[in-house]
C-alpha cells in the first residue's frame, strides 16, 4: 500500500475497541469485568497510538 491508503489503514488499526463487546459480555454473563478492563486498556493505549499513527501517516 502507498500514500493515503497506507495512512488510513494505520489509523484504522490504531482506533480504540468498540463497547459492544462489553454489552454482549454483560448480557450473557461472560466475565463483563474482564471485558471492561480490556476495553479500558485499549482506549488508554489508543490515546498514545492514534496521534502516533496520524504523525506517521501525514
Residue stretches of the chain with pLDDT short of 70: none
Residue 13 in grid coordinates: 488499526
Q: How many domains does the chain have?
A: 1
Question: HSE on the CB side for 29, CA within 13 Å?
Answer: 0
User: What pLDDT, on the 0 to 100 scale, is given for residue 37?
Assistant: 96
Q: Are 37 and 22 in contact (CB under 8 A)?
A: no
CA 48, CA 16: separation in Å to the nearest integer? Answer: 11
Q: What domain range includes position 7?
A: 3-57
**pTM above 0.75?**
no
Residue 10 is classified by DSSP as H
Amino acid at each position: 500500500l502507498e500514500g493515503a491508503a497506507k495512512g488510513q489503514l494505520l489509523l484504522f488499526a490504531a482506533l480504540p475497541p468498540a463497547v459492544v463487546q462489553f454489552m454482549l459480555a454483560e448480557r450473557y454473563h461472560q466475565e463483563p469485568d474482564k471485558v471492561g478492563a480490556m476495553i479500558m486498556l485499549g482506549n488508554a493505549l489508543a490515546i498514545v497510538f492514534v496521534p502516533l499513527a496520524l504523525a506517521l501517516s501525514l
